[in-house]
Amino acid sequence: MKRRSIRVCGQEIEQPGHICAFFSSRDEEYETLIPYVRDGVDSGEQVLNVLDASRLQDHRARLRAAGLTPDDGTLSIASSEDTYLAGGHFDMGRMVRFVSNTLVDASAHERCVRTAGWMEWIHRDAPGTERVMEYEARMNLLVPTFDCTFMCIYDLTRLTGRMVVDVMATHPYVILNGQIRRNPFFVPPEVYLKDLLGPKFPRSSGQFA
């Protein structure tokens, strides 16, 4: 399946790949999320949402109110606790394999994938969370192989300045104030990971170790 350009924040974007989305309220989140999800469903894509278990009931209610049908095989929903924090910690390799398997399975069925992942779980400081920006950078390595769109949703009110800098460095597109734009602060993953990991990067770059 060849993806057409997708529409985000009212703009037509050619295969953005990896987007960081900064919001300050839930209503603001869903003003962007609902059209993004609906566009994926209407296009026959595999749509995956991941967010904290405490938000799942409200999330499903908002989707249904918008005329969308969660958990119907096209629009899937998973909790942070069963994915990012399975076993009570963040295992970057496990999470990348989960995403990769989702992409491979969708590709075998000639479907594109788009995701929306809420990143609130990073504030729990669970073991392994220190590797989250390495994970974000490595997600960009999947984009050239798979026709996919990842949206990572951050609560702007909870981020430190250092965290904003790292998030901006690992996403080629950014949503802020309800608008999407190319991110001038994006650092290509090969450069970011080399700076982050030093001599470890050439050994593990293709393995997501």
Contact between 149 and 115 (Cβ < 8 Å): yes
Confidence of residue 27 (pLDDT cuts 50, 70, 90): very high
pLDDT tens profile 140-177 = 998 888 888 999 999 999 999 999 999 999 999 999 99
Using alpha carbons, select from 42, 88, 19, 32 the residue that is nearest to residue 62. Answer: 32
Please report, for residues 7, 141, 196, the alpha-carbon distance to residue 37 in angstroms, rounded to integers and kept in the order given: 10, 23, 33
For the chain, what is the domain count? Answer: 1
The rounded Cα 199 to chain-centroid distance in angstroms is 27
Is position 108 within any domain? Answer: yes
Contact between 182 and 18 (Cβ < 8 Å): no
The β-bridge partners of 18 are: 150
Q: Stretch 81-103: mean pLDDT, rounded?
A: 94
pLDDT tens profile 181-194 = 999 999 999 999 98
Is position 2 within any domain? Answer: no
Is position 141 within any domain? Answer: yes
Distance between CA 191 and CA 208 in Å, rounded? 15
What are the start-end ranges of the E strands in the chain?
6-8, 11-13, 18-23, 46-51, 75-79, 113-118, 148-155, 173-176, 179-182
Asked if the model's pLDDT at residue 208 lies above 70, the reply is: no
| CATH code where residue 121 lies | 3.40.50.300
Q: Whole-angstrom distance between the N-terminal and C-terminal Cα of the chain?
A: 30
Distance between CA 155 and CA 142 in Å, rounded? 25
Distance between CA 3 and CA 57 in Å, rounded? 31
Q: With H, G, I as helix, E, B as strand and everything else as coil, classify residue 206.
A: coil
Please identify which residue in the block is written with the tokens 């942070």.
80
Using alpha carbons, select from 167, 166, 118, 112 the residue that is nearest to residue 142. Answer: 112
Instruction: Enter the pTM of the model.
Output: 0.90
pLDDT of residue 4: 64
Structural domain that includes position 107: 13-202
Is position 5 within any domain? Answer: no
Q: Which two tokens mark 173? A: 């597109």
pLDDT of residue 57: 97
Is position 55 within any domain? Answer: yes
Using alpha carbons, select from 32, 26, 28 the residue that is nearest to residue 55. Answer: 26
